[in-house]
A = this chain, B = another copy of it.
Amino acid sequence: MDNETITIYDVAREAGVSMATVSRVVNGNQNVKEATRRKVLDVIERLDYRPNAVARGLASKKTTTVGVVIPDISNSYFASLARGIDDIATMYKYNIVIANSDGDDDKEINVVNTLLAKQVDGLVFLAHDLSDKIRAEFSRTRTPIVLAGTVDHENQIPTVNIDYALAAKDATLELAKNSQKIALVSGPMINAINGKERLSGYQEALRESNQTFSEGLVFETKYSYNDGLKLAERVRASGATAAVVTDDEVAVGLLNGLVGLGVDVPNDFAIISANNSVITEFTRPALSSIEQPLYDLGAVSMRLLTKMMNKETIDEKRVILPHGFVKRGSSK
């Protein structure tokens, strides 16, 4: 008695046409007489018919859904990217299915496979680095994939990034104007591609400003406020008088930690953060920061993906978006 699934067939019968015709009007095909269209539309309205996207997906081999693999949606950095992705996806009539990976290799492989099983039309992949295992998974499929905010050192997969090395270099150079001992505070993956890039930019800046590189000035930490806070003591003990920090939350923690220790920021210690997310404005002094177009990184990667799904020819598979620098109170 609860058997009320209205199908295209019901509409066809009720409107006195074939299901092909109904399909045509539903899909906006022009080859339908205006009178018939009206009639069909009427019945659709009356029966409250809604096309079943699953059946449609099976028949057309298109799901109008893309997968988004993301380390942690509750991290504001990734959340901003995700918003950019969804807005463009929506614009092109796609939905996104989001899967958190925690940056864990096995989880990544897992979710990529279930997403592919669900026949997503494309995949946007965000991670801290690209493991060989996940690369192997990628090579098994013909589903279009683009990396957003994630460097591929093998240059195999289309990516949308900023120039992380240059950004780190710029920030370091900025600090070198006033400081002789500049620390680099990086995420847990200094050996990851993304971290490597930043490290090399940092080192290059040191060379150009005739400062010597020292392992003791490089700090690795997890991406959280508390980790930054805890790090303050060690950083001060290192004798550094400035730091480039690759994560905003960590930078806030470091700043608050140092200030809590009685350090005068920016006079005794200068800080430049990396993402210019809104939280850089929350602190006192506010954080100077490299400016990353987070939303755009997501938006552009999704746009790129639409082109790939559409089999358009891609002129440039490695998009580099410009970054900037915003000077606030934490540096001189």
Binding site for B on A (CB under 8 A): 2, 48, 50-55, 57-58, 63, 65, 72-76, 79-80, 82-83, 86-87, 90, 95-100, 113-119, 140, 142, 225, 249, 252, 256, 259, 278-279, 281-284, 295
- Whole-angstrom CA separation of A117 from B73 in the bound complex: 25
Interface centre among A65, A86, A114, A282 (most CB of B within 10 A): A282
Among A114, A225, A278, max chain B CB count under 10 A is at A278
Q: Is the beta-carbon distance between A48 and B140 smaller than 8 angstroms? A: yes
Complex Cα spacing A114 to B279, Å: 34
B79 with A74: CB separation less than 8 A: yes
**Chain B contacts for A117, CB-based, 8 A:** 50-53
20 residue pairs A–B, Cβ–Cβ below 8 Å = A50-B117, A54-B54, A54-B63, A54-B119, A73-B83, A73-B86, A74-B76, A74-B80, A87-B100, A90-B99, A90-B100, A95-B97, A98-B98, A225-B282, A252-B282, A256-B282, A256-B284, A279-B279, A279-B282, A283-B284
Given contacts A76-B76, A249-B278, contact A95 B118 (CB under 8 A): yes
Q: Is the CB of B281 within 8 A of A283?
A: no
A83 near B95 with CB under 8 A, answer no
- Cβ of A96: which chain B residues have Cβ within 8 Å of it? 97-99
A58 in complex: contacting residue of B58, B73, B95, CB < 8 Å: B58
